[in-house]
Amino acid sequence: MATSIKLIRKYVWLAETIRRSGRITIDEVNRRWSRNSTLNYDGESEIPERTFHRHRQAIADIFGIDIVCDRRSGNEYYIENPEVLEENSFTANLFSRLAVDNRLLDNKDLAARVIDEPNAAGMSNLSSVLDALQLQVKISVEYRSQFSGKTRRHIVEPQFLKKNKQLWYVVSRLESGAIIPLALDRILSVELTADRFEFDPEIEPSTYFSDVVGVNLDSDYCVERVLVKVTAPQRNYLDNLPLHHTQRAVETTEEYTIYEYRLSPEYEFQHELMRMGESIEVLEPAWLRHQIKTFAEKILSSHQ
């Protein structure tokens, strides 16, 4: 049975209230619930005990969050597995967005000071692609090339969905056998076919792009060691938001940090380096150092 968004918002409020408190009694939960004029539609003075426990079970079923009671410390409730909210998963991201949205609903002045990004184009195609993945059927897509601007229709076997920089991609096998990511914002239409297919057992979604930054796999590049020197304060940005999961600091001084990567340094990685401008210097490999230097010289010459 479908659960209403209003009820899901209540689940998120309860779990977030317990998470932010660390530990909390049901009496304190009820005091906070009685003061919530946005989600407490009926003006309840408390959450009935049976309802509270049903909510706990629903939160576990939907979000994988286990709320348990420590009877030795005065019946305090806490989240037993808070790490699930730190995972890079669709469910954890959804919970975080709803938790923020709940607060903004409750405070219009605060909402006016929180500016979100607009939804990416192509989101209307997401549901159809999910249907195709669930049913394992080929899809017919009308796709506009980013480079040529031309539109073609393809019959593809969708393998998995990946989000990158706020855009969704469906990694698909073309009729030629090639595996490419198709950006949903460039898919003009999607039609499910009656032709079934089997997922490629050699494609593991969680690791398929582990050697690159982004969603570009280029056979012209191979995995190799890259050393990059980054000066302060730009290195603080990299420390908080690594360019790649293999990033590690191999030398640190007051002025700079040298980072090591083990990846395929294709154009998306190169563009990420270029974004840091004069704060960055590529040390190894020599060909990449030359490539970045060439890019910089071209940019300089174009502005003269």
Over residues 223-267, the pLDDT tens digits come to 999 999 999 888 899 999 999 999 999 999 999 999 999 999 999
Over residues 83-111, the pLDDT tens digits come to 999 887 888 888 998 999 998 988 888 88
* Predicted local confidence at residue 1, as pLDDT: 37
* Predicted local confidence at residue 3, as pLDDT: 56
* Predicted local confidence at residue 2, as pLDDT: 45
Percent of the chain with pLDDT over 70: 98
* Predicted local confidence at residue 233, as pLDDT: 85
Mean pLDDT, residues 194-210:
95
What whole-number distance in Å separates Cα of residue 5 and Cα of residue 103? 15
What whole-number distance in Å separates Cα of residue 76 and Cα of residue 57? 17
Which residues contact residue 174 at a Cβ distance below 8 angstroms, ignoring those fewer than 6 apart?
154, 156, 180
Over residues 52-84, the pLDDT tens digits come to 999 999 999 999 999 999 999 889 999 999 999
Over residues 147-158, the pLDDT tens digits come to 788 899 999 999
Residue 201 pLDDT > 60, yes or no?
yes
* 216 in Cβ contact with 183 (< 8 Å): no
* Predicted local confidence at residue 108, as pLDDT: 85
Mean pLDDT, residues 112-140:
87
* Predicted local confidence at residue 304, as pLDDT: 63
What whole-number distance in Å separates Cα of residue 262 and Cα of residue 164? 20
Please state, rounded to an integer, the average pLDDT across all residues of the chain.
Answer: 91
Whole-model pTM: value is 0.77
* 102 in Cβ contact with 96 (< 8 Å): no
C-alpha angle with apex 56: 53 to 57, nearest 5 degrees?
A: 95
